[in-house]
């Protein structure tokens, strides 16, 4: 009996897999051009990374004085994006707000893509990628619980697993015309809320715990990370959802979009407030720790590579906040999308390079080495982003038709069109 | 004159012949137990004499002793004294009647191998630190017997101030461009 | 239905197993001696192939009853950098890319010990330069090292004699320790290190100065290959003005104890509570 069930499940799952492959392989011209574009970036990234593996991390601009750079900056930003799925989950499930429930799954797809990119950025940043297994018990040795990086490895993988299981389950069930099992999905989705907060808090603690780096050794780093995460992640999602609404039969109420934008405004306010608090403390106390903040906003002596980026980030964040806080501008779809791009760009700058580089410049013994990425780093990063976008695209390509009920598997693998979406649950 | 290179080579001999050091000095001076008491003689490598200058008595045994403070014109004109030269001259350290020895302020003769006692008269703190192994260059073993050099092995007794050295090259500042290999 | 439950149970079991084994003992340097010796024999064979020289790799353990400490006399250092290059030669540091485990900072006497105004790139014709003094900085071999705390794979740890060491074959090169070190003491092999064959020091220690591969972190180890044989580190021996002192903190006779008890001693960044075992003092 159990054996029969197992065989049946395998058959069902392989049907789901084959159905997914079918969905991925059909698309219009725009779809294939998009994939080709991503493919080019990925190929370029692989070539650049091969050179980096061969010659060493010396191909980046990182040196002893600034030993972390573009890769880790992107990693930090993307952990925030992954955590942002929770912005959707909280109103959907905790406040039981139906218009958003349909789109929770897309937040989770975004989380999966973002975590994949995070793991890839870590992989390209370490000096010995062949020794990655040293992190994985029982083959390797994970310095848990002393090392915050060990915590990060665990929670990131766990969060990935939770999201992956939920999404696969929902789509698998929908593919076979069934609803997802609430007792399984809802607890996991609710679990993903503290987990999302957890992954970004742990990532913040990575920096926060280092007494050697006064710029990072600040108590507000964890709240600041969460605030900036909760505006940047949904920014991508809002754009994607509007695209889906335009190009597929996917439906989402305007109210849902506006609600998310409103939540982003509050998150951005918190982000700006915390930055302001940080600036006050540094400039008013005026200790030597001010050097790092000063380098970021004003430069030090003749060193001012990052100053334009600092003020661009400030401007972008302020613009985004203004556009999202007022319902009038929020409901104008042009301004809404401008706001989304501004949020994404602003947080990307201030949380990527704006966090890592000023934390390491000047270095612990006062030396200033101005870091900005090399072409190798840019190519590898672009390749990784392309992988993430590719993953997201392919997952959407499977998820949207299935969740719309447009694509289902039967015993003979016929395609069936069903009118009502099965994803809304009850 | 610093004869550090020769001194290092000779140090091996010093280490080998060094006996047990008295742990506690009866004079009650605060020092680590293994530092030699002021009565104890310390083994050192041979003093860094210029070639052929010692024994001094080869020339001086037959000479008349002239204790008048003056600038030398016949011999030893290469020595320019820059060591409290306003107040002291040669015979304040070198024994007038036997040039193979130095003498302390009390008149007691000390051989060149114990010249540290002479230096220690004025430079008491340095002397105390030197006995503890804290002043001066340290070679050999941290858990073995301590090796000592004479003051004169590093400091020219006539011009003790160290000359400035040319520094070794500065490190290369970090460069984002690496040489292609 | 059953398979789904089985899968979830298996996943939960795997996750729990991961977390449990993650808190296990540091088995790297608790490896049995014969395994370590086999690994070292293999290492020596590889070095012979790569460098054409017979390089000895020692696995000498800490001497019991020893806790190393270092003292540097700021009133005497003239900034000649002979310690830097003696260290490079003794410890097989890469010449290109250039790695120096010791960094000497020129400070102005007026400003005092202030690293925001220090200059490690000084190159006057003669040192000491007028109005300046010099502070060499290397690994402080802290009692509570921030670097060993953060290593995700446990590749760096404190030995019983106080030396903080790195297992170059276990380090994954994540450089978290470099971010954590307040003294800039750790260095990374950004590309393949190069050492001229005739300058290789063949007397090495497994945790010290054996030639390192690309992509790992390295730092001063108090010349572990010398210190565990009772000898002074290379920098102590070469210093022409006797500014460097080294010894066993647990030995009341040592120079180190004398210095701590009688001289004005300070440590860098004391407020960070790393409790360095590298002391700076003024002997005058």
Listed by number, the residues of chain B in 128-157 with a beta carbon closer than 8 Å to a beta carbon of chain C are 129, 132-144, 154
Does residue B93 contact residue B118 with C-beta atoms inside 8 Å?
Answer: yes
Which subunits sit against C, judged by 3+ Cβ pairs under 8 A? A, B
Residue A5 maps to a domain: no
Instruction: Determine the residue of chain B that is closest to A377 in CA distance.
Output: B176
Q: Percent of chain B beyond pLDDT 70?
A: 77
CA-nearest of B118, A259, B141 to C226 is B141
Cis? peptide before C268, omega within 30° of 0: no
Q: In chain A, how many domains are there? A: 1
CA distance A169 to chain C (A): 9
B163 to chain A, closest Cα gap in Å: 29
Distance from CA of B147 to the nearest CA of C (A): 12
Task: Look at strands C187-188 and C217-218 and give their pairing.
Answer: antiparallel
Q: Does C242 touch chain B (CB under 8 A)?
A: yes
DSSP state, A248?
S
Nearest-CA distance from C8 to chain A in Å? Answer: 9
Beta-strand (E) ranges in A46-181? none
Coil, strand or helix at A93: helix
Closest by CA position to C141, among listed C40, C54, C232, C71: C71
- Compute the distance between CA of residue A202 and CA of residue C137 in angstroms, rounded to an integer: 32
Span of A381-390, B105-114, B172-181, C118-127 with lowest mean pLDDT: B172-181
Residue B97 is given by DSSP the state S
Best mutation site among A137, A154, A168, A301 for testing chain C: the one with the most C CBs within 10 Å? A137
Taking the CA of residue C10 and the nearest CA in chain A, the distance in Å comes to 13
Token pair, residue A138, equals 């029982």
Interface test with B, best of A57, A59, A368 (most B CBs within 10 A): A59
Q: Looking at the partner chain, which of B167, B173, B179 has a beta carbon nearest the beta carbon of C81?
A: B167
What is the per-residue pLDDT across B110-136, written as a single tens digit (0 to 9) for each? Answer: 999 999 999 999 999 999 999 988 998
Instruction: Give CA A69 to chain center in angstroms.
Output: 18
pLDDT at B10 over 70: no
Q: pLDDT band at residue C12, thresholds of 50, 70 and 90?
A: low
Q: How far apart are CA B65 and CA A357, in angstroms?
A: 76
Output the six-digit token pair for A112. Answer: 């999966």
| Ranges A87-96, B44-53, C31-40, C224-233: which has the least confidence | A87-96
* CB contact at 8 A, A252 and A241: yes
The residue ranking higher by pLDDT, C229 or A100, is C229
Among C128, C230, C239, whose Cβ lies nearest the Cβ of B137? C239
Whether A293 is covered by a domain: the verdict is: yes
Q: Tell the CATH topology of C35-282.
A: Alpha-Beta Plaits (3.30.70)
**Cα distance between residue B136 and residue A74, in whole Å:** 53
Contacts of C107 (CB under 8 A, 6+ apart): C113, C114, C117, C118, C119, C132, C133, C134, C135
Q: Is residue A327 part of a domain?
A: yes
Q: Regarding beta strands C164-166 and C56-58, do their DSSP bridges make them parallel or antiparallel, or are they unpaired?
A: unpaired
From chain B, the residues in CB contact with C282 under 8 A are: none
Q: Number of CB pairs < 8 Å for A and C?
A: 179
The span from the CA of B140 to the CA of B144, in Å, is: 8
Does the residue A166 lie in any domain? yes
| Overall residue count recorded for chain C in this entry | 284
Backbone phi and psi for residue A106, each to the nearest 5 degrees, phi listed first: -75, -35
Q: Under an 8 A CB cutoff, do A64 and C187 touch?
A: yes
How many CA within 13 A on the CB side of residue C188? 30
Distance of CA A236 to the CA centre of its chain: 9
CATH number of the domain encompassing residue A240: 1.20.1630.10
pLDDT score of C30 more than 70: no
pLDDT 10s digits, A130-155? 999 999 887 888 998 999 999 999 99
C112 torsion bin: left (phi>0), alpha (psi -120 to 50), beta (else): left
Looking at this predicted complex, what is its ipTM? 0.90
With CA atoms as reference, the chain A residue closest to C271 would be A211
Q: How many CB atoms lie within 10 A of CB C85?
A: 18
Check residue A99 and give its pLDDT: 62
Tell me if residue A58 falls in helix, strand or coil. helix
Alpha carbon distance, N-terminus to C-terminus of chain B = 47
Residue C149 has its nearest CB partner, among A122, A138, A147, at A147
Give the whole-number percent of chain C exceeding pLDDT 70: 89
A contact test, residue of B170, B173, B176 with most A CBs within 10 A = B176
CB contact under 8 A, B178 and A55: yes
CA pair distance A271, A346, nearest whole angstrom:
11
Residue C249 has a pLDDT of 94
Q: In this complex, is the C-beta atom of B4 within 8 Å of any C-beta atom belonging to chain C?
A: yes
At A422 the pLDDT is 46
Helix axes A307-325, A353-360, angle to 10 degrees: 140
Question: Chain C neighbours among A 64-103 (CB < 8 Å)?
Answer: 64-65, 67-68
pTM score = 0.87
Residues of chain A where predicted confidence (pLDDT) is lower than 70: 1-2, 91-102, 410-426
Give the Cβ contact number of residue C143 at 10 Å: 14
- A129: which residues sit within 8 A by CB, 6+ positions away? A53, A123
Report yes or no on A164 lying in a domain. yes
Q: Element (H or E) spanning C239, and its range?
A: none
């Amino acid at each position: 009996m159990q054996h029969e069930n197992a065989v049946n499940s395998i058959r069902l799952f392989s049907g789901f897999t084959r159905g997914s492959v079918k969905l991925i392989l059909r698309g219009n011209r725009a779809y294939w051009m998009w994939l080709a574009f991503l493919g080019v970036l990925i190929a370029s990234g692989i070539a650049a990374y091969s050179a980096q593996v061969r010659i060493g991390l010396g191909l980046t601009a990182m040196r002893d004085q600034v030993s972390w750079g573009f890769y880790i900056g992107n990693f930090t930003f993307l952990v925030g994006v992954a955590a942002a799925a929770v912005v959707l989950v909280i109103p959907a499930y905790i406040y039981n707000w139906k218009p958003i429930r349909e789109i929770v799954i897309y937040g989770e797809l975004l989380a999966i893509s973002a975590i994949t990119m995070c793991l890839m950025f870590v992989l390209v940043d370490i000096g010995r990628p062949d020794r990655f297994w040293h992190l994985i018990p029982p083959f390797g040795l994970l310095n848990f619980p002393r090392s915050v990086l060990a915590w990060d490895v665990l929670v990131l993988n766990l969060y990935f697993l939770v999201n992956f299981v939920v999404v696969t389950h929902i789509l698998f069930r929908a593919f076979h015309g069934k609803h997802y099992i609430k007792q399984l999905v809802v607890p996991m989705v609710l679990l993903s809320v503290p987990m999302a907060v957890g992954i970004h808090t742990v990532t913040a603690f990575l920096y926060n715990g280092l007494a050697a780096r006064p710029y990072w050794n600040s108590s507000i780093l964890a709240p600041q990370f969460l605030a900036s995460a909760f505006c940047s992640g949904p920014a991508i999602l809002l754009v994607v959802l509007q695209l889906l609404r335009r190009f597929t039969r996917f439906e989402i109420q305007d109210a849902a979009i506006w609600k998310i934008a409103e939540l982003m405004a509050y998150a951005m306010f918190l982000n700006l407030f915390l930055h302001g608090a940080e600036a006050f403390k540094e400039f008013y106390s005026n200790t030597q720790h001010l050097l790092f903040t000063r380098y970021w906003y004003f430069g030090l002596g003749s060193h001012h590579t990052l100053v334009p980026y600092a003020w661009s980030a400030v401007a972008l964040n302020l613009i985004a906040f203004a556009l999202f806080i007022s319902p009038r501008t929020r409901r104008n779809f042009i301004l809404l999308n401008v706001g989304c791009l501004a949020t994404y760009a602003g947080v990307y700058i201030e949380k990527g390079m704006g966090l890592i580089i000023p934390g390491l410049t000047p270095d612990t013994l006062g030396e200033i080495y101005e870091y900005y990425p090399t072409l190798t780093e840019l190519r590898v990063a672009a390749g990784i982003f392309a992988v993430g976008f590719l993953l997201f695209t392919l997952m959407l390509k499977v998820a949207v038709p299935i969740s719309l009920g447009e694509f289902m598997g039967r015993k003979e693998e016929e395609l069936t069109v069903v009118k009502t979406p099965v994803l809304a649950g009850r | 004159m610093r004869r550090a290179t020769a001194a290092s080579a000779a140090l091996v001999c010093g280490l080998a012949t060094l006996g047990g050091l008295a742990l506690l000095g009866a004079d009650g001076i605060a020092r680590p137990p293994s530092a030699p008491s002021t009565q104890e003689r310390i083994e050192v490598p041979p003093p860094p004499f210029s070639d052929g200058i010692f024994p001094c008595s080869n020339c001086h045994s037959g000479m008349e002793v002239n204790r008048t403070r003056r600038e030398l014109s016949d011999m030893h004109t290469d020595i320019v004294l820059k060591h409290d030269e306003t107040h002291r001259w040669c015979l304040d350290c070198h024994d007038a009647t036997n040039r193979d020895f130095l003498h302390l302020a009390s008149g007691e003769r000390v051989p060149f191998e114990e010249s540290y006692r002479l230096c220690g008269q004025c430079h008491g703190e340095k002397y105390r630190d030197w006995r503890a192994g804290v002043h001066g260059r340290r070679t050999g073993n941290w858990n073995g017997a301590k090796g000592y050099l004479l003051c004169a092995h590093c400091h020219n007794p006539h011009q003790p101030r160290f000359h400035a050295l040319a520094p070794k090259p500065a490190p290369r500042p970090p460069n984002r461009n690496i040489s292609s290999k | 239905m059953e398979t789904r439950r089985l899968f979830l149970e298996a996943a939960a079991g795997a996750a729990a197993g991961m977390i449990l084994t993650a808190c296990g003992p540091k088995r790297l340097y608790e490896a049995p001696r014969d395994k370590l010796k086999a690994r070292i024999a293999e290492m020596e064979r590889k070095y012979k192939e790569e460098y054409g020289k017979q390089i000895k790799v020692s696995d000498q353990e800490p001497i019991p009853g020893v806790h190393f400490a270092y003292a540097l006399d700021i009133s005497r250092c003239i900034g000649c950098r002979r310690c830097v290059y003696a260290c490079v030669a003794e410890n097989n540091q890469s010449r290109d890319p250039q790695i120096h485990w010791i960094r000497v900072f020129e400070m102005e006497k007026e400003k005092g010990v202030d690293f925001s105004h220090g200059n490690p790139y000084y190159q006057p014709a003669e040192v000491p330069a007028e109005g300046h003094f010099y502070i060499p900085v290397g690994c402080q071999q802290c009692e509570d090292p921030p670097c060993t705390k953060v290593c995700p794979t446990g590749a760096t740890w404190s030995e019983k004699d106080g030396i903080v060491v790195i297992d170059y074959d276990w380090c994954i090169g994540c450089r978290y320790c470099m971010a954590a070190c307040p003294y800039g003491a750790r260095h990374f092999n950004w590309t393949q290190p190069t050492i001229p064959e005739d300058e290789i020091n063949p007397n090495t220690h497994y945790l010290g100065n054996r030639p390192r591969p690309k992509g790992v972190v390295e730092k001063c180890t108090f010349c572990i290959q010398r210190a565990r044989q009772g000898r002074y580190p290379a920098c102590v021996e070469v210093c022409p003005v006797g500014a460097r002192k080294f010894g066993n903190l647990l030995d009341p006779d040592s120079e180190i104890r004398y210095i701590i008890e009688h001289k004005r001693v300070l440590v860098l960044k004391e407020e960070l509570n790393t409790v360095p075992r590298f002391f700076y003092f003024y002997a005058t």
